[in-house]
Amino acid sequence: MPQQVRGVIARSKGAPVEIVPIIIPDPGPGEVVVAIAACGVCHTDLTYREGGINDEYPFLLGHEAAGVVESVGEGVESVEVGDFVVLNWRAVCGQCRACKRGRPQYCFDTFNATQKMTLEDGTELSPALGIGAFADKTLVHAGQCTKVDPSADPAVVGLLGCGVMAGMGAAMNTGNVGRGDSVAVIGCGGVGDAAIVGARLAGANRIIAVDRDNKKLDWARDLGATHTINATEFDVVEAVQDLTGGFGADVVIDAVGRPETWKQAFYARDLAGTVVLVGVPTPDMTLEMPLVDFFSRGGSLKSSWYGDCLPERDFPMLVDLYQQGRLPLEKFVTERIALDQVEEAFESMHRGEVLRSVVVL
Ligand SMILES: NC(=O)c1ccc[n+]([C@@H]2O[C@H](COP(=O)([O-])OP(=O)(O)OC[C@H]3O[C@@H](n4cnc5c(N)ncnc54)[C@H](O)[C@@H]3O)[C@@H](O)[C@H]2O)c1
Ligand SMILES: [Zn+2]
Ligand SMILES: [Zn+2]
């Protein structure tokens, strides 16, 4: 029997989100219904609401979540009822050209649920990143459920489902940060601070945090930044160079995703260094710069989709490190809120008051 539960939707561009009844179908073949325990508020949810991803409204928002498997459809073997899972948006297909070449982290054909969740009148919902977890329950593909240690706090480990994994992976996987590297991170929200944590775990010896907001810089230092730069007070490129013997950092991570921050990342990098873009630009943004600068500075310019993670490999490992006290994931949870406070959480995010607001159900 399809169930009716509460969900948070964005109905049209820029309109405040609404909490409405939504209909969850019974899981079909390969599908799973998950009872959500917690879901973090990511900047990407706000980007969806503002039309920055696409215009397939209404969106069912929320995608950094953990919960418990409530029912499974035909043929599902990877999880069973009662399993504690973190939801992911990289259920790799195993069949596409990336998967076949042994690069499943780039999978071009990831699985989502086939059936649609709907509004009461039958209008089909577009779940954010194929998840839609600002809801009591959601319908996903079985591959989107990654089993982790059930004793972990869902509000904390759910964050691995997007922003924290994206940031940590931007440093550890995409940026390939290693022992002794210098790293600069531009934008110290949830994603940027996770990049700082990832850089530290990977052995970086100098980690420079850049933000416009001093409170964010304090948090970044608490999470492992060795130096901080307020971008409203200093020239970011010069300041990073000053802190790296005049050369620039080995790896610079842009966790904002704007032309000006990407250019700062490009020029604040040492020769043959790496730029990682993990912040998501909007379709209107463009970049113009001398081509010779690309050539003469060498190195690599990369984008990081979801931290180049493989959920099955990375989530249980990171939960384990967190449980051992080696990964301060709990510091990302600034506040715990109710399902009807997502709009307020967007405002707090906008005002820079939170790393993550987490909806707890
Ligand atoms: N690539 C991926 O797979 C992936 C996954 C999740 C999120 N994201 C993206 O990562 C970005 C960051 O997400 P978040 O949740 O951390 O957002 P957030 O709003 O919490 O953090 C952004 C931070 O950037 C700072 N900032 C803004 N403009 C700046 C500037 N010009 N110079 C320096 N700092 C500046 C803000 O003060 C804030 O601290 C977003 O674009 C989001 O969509 C990407
Ligand atoms: Zn694939
Ligand atoms: Zn996200």
Going from the first residue of the chain to its last (361 residues), give the mean pLDDT of each consecutive group of 10, the final group possibly shorter: 97 95 98 98 94 94 98 98 98 97 97 98 98 98 98 98 97 98 97 98 98 97 98 98 98 98 98 97 94 96 98 97 96 97 96 95 97
Q: Whose CA is nearest to atom 40 of ligand 1?
A: 279
Contacts of 159 (CB under 8 A, 6+ apart): 40, 64, 190, 329, 332, 333, 356, 358
Q: Whose CA is nearest to atom 28 of ligand 1?
A: 256
Structure tokens at 76: 């599902």
| Predicted confidence (pLDDT) per residue in 153-166, tens digit | 999 999 999 999 99
Evaluate whether 253 touches 185 at the Cβ level (below 8 Å): yes
Rounded-to-integer distance, Cα 214 and Cα 76, Å: 48
Phi–psi pair at 193, nearest 5 degrees: -65, -35
What is the Cβ-side half-sphere exposure of residue 196, based on CA atoms within 13 angstroms? 32
Q: What is the pLDDT of residue 143?
A: 98
Q: What is the pLDDT of residue 241?
A: 98
Q: What is the pLDDT of residue 14?
A: 84
Nearest to 256 by CA among 294, 216, 218: 216
Nearest to 136 by CA among 245, 60, 207: 60
107: CA distance to ligand 2 center in Å?
Answer: 4
Evaluate whether 66 touches 20 at the Cβ level (below 8 Å): no
Closest ligand to C-alpha of residue 46 is: 1
Q: Whose CA is nearest to atom 24 of ligand 1?
A: 187
96: CA distance to ligand 3 center in Å?
Answer: 24
Structure tokens at 95: 């069949």
Closest ligand to C-alpha of residue 100 is: 2
Rounded-to-integer distance, Cα 197 and Cα 166, Å: 12
Sign of CA dihedral 151, 153, 156, 158: positive
Name residue 227's beta-bridge partners: 208
| Predicted confidence (pLDDT) per residue in 295-327, tens digit | 999 999 999 999 999 999 999 999 999 999 999
Rounded-to-integer distance, Cα 186 and Cα 192, Å: 7
Q: What is the DSSP string of 311-343?
A: HHHHHHHHHHHHHTTSS-GGGG--EEE-GGGHH
Q: In ligand 1, which atom is closest to the CA atom of 44?
A: 43
Q: Whose CA is nearest to atom 10 of ligand 1?
A: 279
83: CA distance to ligand 3 center in Å?
Answer: 23
Q: What lines the ligand 1 site, CB under 6 Å?
A: 42-44, 47, 162-163, 166, 186-192, 210-213, 216, 231, 255-257, 261, 278-280, 304-306, 349, 352
The SS3 assignment for 108 reads coil
* Residue of 41, 44, 193 to mutate, ligand 1, most atoms within 8 A of C-beta: 44
Evaluate whether 184 touches 210 at the Cβ level (below 8 Å): yes
102: CA distance to ligand 2 center in Å?
Answer: 9
* Residue of 61, 191, 217 to mutate, ligand 1, most atoms within 8 A of C-beta: 191
Q: Whose CA is nearest to atom 20 of ligand 1?
A: 189
Q: What is the pLDDT of residue 115?
A: 98
